[in-house]
């Protein structure tokens, strides 16, 4: 049970560090704009200046980060490098999309603060320029730059009340990139993403507009402060009250001189933009590498098995690939869990025919496909335990196909004593429909194990969590049969949900004094249950270790 705690601790700490950096940047830049240099800017704007600049700094930081988690090839390379040192650190990189979303939320939050603060700034700049007269310091400050060859402080230069915003680069780019951000966010909502992946994917490419606009956003240099040289001979807190005498004969206060801050954003984002460009290039190169479909198997319940070969392809158990089919779409890549074992001479995926992309059942042998990957941390930990409990819920059984096959191949081929001696496999499924290809696999394994006199190696339990009257009637009639009437397997199908307490107790009794690994691919609720059972039954010798793999 300590295994999962350490992983979650690392995740928690890294998120805390990220939040900490955000907080630090916010506070730091808030204070920077309370500096003397911006004294006169604040005379016009008040604290709204700091409230706009602080989130701007956080936006620079987060926009730098957001491109990194989606560079999957880069991450894969990093993971491989880190894995030698620390598998836990390597596993953090699997949570890349979660982090991408977190950063996106932060960008949305800071954008909101930034915009609201600037609404006040804009209004105050307008007031300073339009209301008031020469006896009002705001007006005097705003007039600097009007026909006197000086650099302005107030970016609103005219008395025109039309939408001045559109005449500034900052204003125009601001609206454009915020609109792009909002379109990206609305098309990324789970409802849209799961049902219409294409809308999500194509709209997301507005990030190109976003980044270009973001870099150009500060080019107009409309955030202005007093220059260092000007501060030497014009101290704001001394000269402010004499604003009506500035520059006049006898006054020891000259006009203050202002300059704009140079744009900073490009320094933050240029490296990630370059890395992402490399990532897209790598994906393109990989898509050009030849992948051959060696076999297409149509399983019942609309499941298609594609067996493929690619030069130099090396996989490990529990990994996934991204696939692209140019005849369906030139641009879309979709993830699929690998169902083959590393020991086989090909690699395979099983595709369920639902939804849009996978409706094209015209998969044929010798059809051109592109494959990117494999990605994901290998589930090799399975082989480090003498006894292993594997739990797959519904479609979560897919990575276990790879694991079970691999374990079997290790027994058969290597003939060496592989450490794993016993597998307890639990498959929870709401209905029998999507069953059949996996049942075929179990049947074939069952047969092979019987031949090698190893029927005890794998003990599997299939639970139908939802069943109909017709099936129940069918079972009543055949309950004496040797094989399970639904799956055709020797070990029978069970109904309802497993009594984990009983199961764990039985397993504990059979493996005293050893470490039993528990692996889950399924809903988090089930994970919590299993984690609790691991803790509850880890006593007097036997230790259950729950591995929350991120399949």
Give the residues lining the site for other proteins (CB under 8 A).
112, 115-116, 119-120, 122-123, 126-127, 161, 163, 165, 175, 178-179, 182-183, 185-187, 189, 191-192, 195-196, 198-199, 202, 356-357, 472, 476-477, 479-480
Closest to other proteins by CB, 190 vs 417, is 190
Q: Which helix (H) or strand (E) holds 520?
A: strand 515-521
Q: How far is the CB of 356 from other proteins (least distance, A)?
A: 4
Q: How far is the CB of 166 from other proteins (least distance, A)?
A: 9
Query: How far apart are alpha carbons 172 and 165 in whole angstroms?
Result: 7
Q: The tokens of 307 are what?
A: 């067996």
Across 333-346, b (16+ Cβ under 10 Å) vs e yields bbebbbbbbbeeee
Q: Are 96 and 300 in contact (CB under 8 A)?
A: no
Q: The tokens of 485 are what?
A: 């009437």
Count of residues in the chain: 551
Closest to other proteins by CB, 191 vs 416, is 191
Q: Are 215 and 265 in contact (CB under 8 A)?
A: yes
Q: How far is the CB of 202 from other proteins (least distance, A)?
A: 7
Q: The tokens of 134 are what?
A: 């020469």
Closest to other proteins by CB, 2 vs 202, is 202
Closest to other proteins by CB, 21 vs 172, is 172
Q: How far is the CB of 132 from other proteins (least distance, A)?
A: 14
Closest to other proteins by CB, 161 vs 366, is 161
Q: How far is the CB of 514 from other proteins (least distance, A)?
A: 39
Across 22-55, b (16+ Cβ under 10 Å) vs e yields beebbeebbeebeeebbbbbbbbbeebbbbbbbb
Closest to other proteins by CB, 214 vs 378, is 214
Q: How far is the CB of 180 from other proteins (least distance, A)?
A: 10
The dihedral through the CA atoms of 135, 141, 146, 147 has a sign that is positive
Q: How far is the CB of 172 from other proteins (least distance, A)?
A: 11
In angstroms, how far is CA 284 from the centroid of its own chain? 21
3-state secondary structure of 455: coil
Closest to other proteins by CB, 18 vs 196, is 196
> Nearest Cα to 457, choosing from 502, 402, 410?
410
């Amino acid at each position: 049970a300590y295994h999962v705690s350490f992983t979650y601790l690392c995740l928690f700490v890294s998120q805390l560090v990220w939040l900490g950096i955000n907080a630090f940047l916010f506070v730091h830049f808030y204070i920077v704009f309370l500096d003397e240099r911006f004294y006169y800017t604040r005379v016009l704007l008040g604290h709204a200046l700091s409230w706009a600049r602080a989130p701007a700094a956080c936006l620079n930081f987060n926009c730098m980060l957001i491109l990194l988690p989606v560079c999957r090839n880069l991450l894969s390379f990093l993971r491989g490098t880190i894995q030698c040192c620390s598998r836990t650190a390597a596993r953090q990189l699997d949570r890349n999309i979660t982090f991408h979303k977190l950063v996106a939320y932060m960008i949305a939050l800071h954008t909101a603060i930034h915009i609201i603060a600037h609404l006040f700034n804009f209004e105050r700049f307008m007031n300073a320029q339009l209301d008031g007269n020469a006896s009002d310091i705001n007006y005097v400050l705003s007039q600097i730059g009007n026909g006197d060859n000086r650099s302005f402080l107030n970016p609103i230069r005219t008395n025109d009340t039309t939408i001045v915003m559109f005449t500034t680069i900052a204003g125009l780019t601001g609206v454009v990139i915020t609109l792009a951000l909002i379109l990206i966010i609305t098309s990324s909502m789970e409802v849209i993403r799961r049902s219409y992946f294409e809308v999500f994917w194509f709209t997301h490419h507005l990030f190109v507009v976003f980044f270009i606009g973001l870099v150009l956003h500060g080019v107009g240099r409309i955030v202005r402060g007093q220059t260092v040289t000007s501060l030497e001979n014009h101290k704001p807190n001394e000269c402010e009250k004499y604003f009506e005498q500035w520059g006049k004969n006898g006054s020891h206060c000259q006009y203050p001189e202002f300059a704009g801050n140079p744009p900073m954003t490009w320094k933050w984002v240029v490296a990630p933009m370059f890395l992402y460009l490399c990532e897209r290039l790598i994906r393109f190169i990989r898509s050009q590498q030849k992948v051959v479909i060696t076999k297409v198997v149509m399983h019942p319940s609309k499941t298609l098995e594609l067996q493929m070969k690619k030069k130099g392809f090396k996989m490990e158990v529990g990994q996934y690939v991204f696939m692209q089919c140019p005849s369906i779409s030139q641009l879309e890549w979709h993830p699929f869990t690998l169902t083959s074992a590393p020991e086989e001479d090909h690699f395979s995926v099983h595709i369920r025919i639902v939804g849009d992309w996978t409706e094209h059942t015209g998969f044929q042998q010798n059809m051109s496909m592109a494959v990117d990957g494999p990605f994901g941390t290998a589930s090799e930990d399975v082989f480090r335990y003498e006894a292993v409990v594997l739990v797959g819920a519904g479609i979560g059984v897919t990575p276990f196909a790879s694991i079970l096959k691999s374990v079997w191949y290790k027994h058969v081929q290597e003939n060496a004593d592989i450490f794993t001696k016993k597998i307890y496999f639990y498959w929870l499924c709401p209905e029998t429909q999507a069953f059949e290809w996996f049942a075929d696999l179990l049947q074939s394994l069952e047969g092979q194990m019987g031949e090698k006199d190893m029927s005890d190696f794998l003990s599997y339990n299939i639970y139908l969590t939802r069943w109909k009257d017709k099936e129940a009637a069918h079972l009543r009639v055949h309950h004496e049969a040797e094989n399970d009437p639904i799956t055709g397997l020797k070990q029978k199908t069970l109904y309802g949900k497993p009594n984990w307490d009983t199961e764990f107790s039985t397993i504990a009794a059979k493996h005293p004094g050893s470490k039993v690994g528990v692996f889950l691919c399924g809903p988090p609720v089930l994970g919590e249950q299993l984690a609790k059972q691991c803790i509850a039954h880890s006593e007097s010798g036997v230790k259950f270790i729950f591995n929350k793999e991120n399949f």
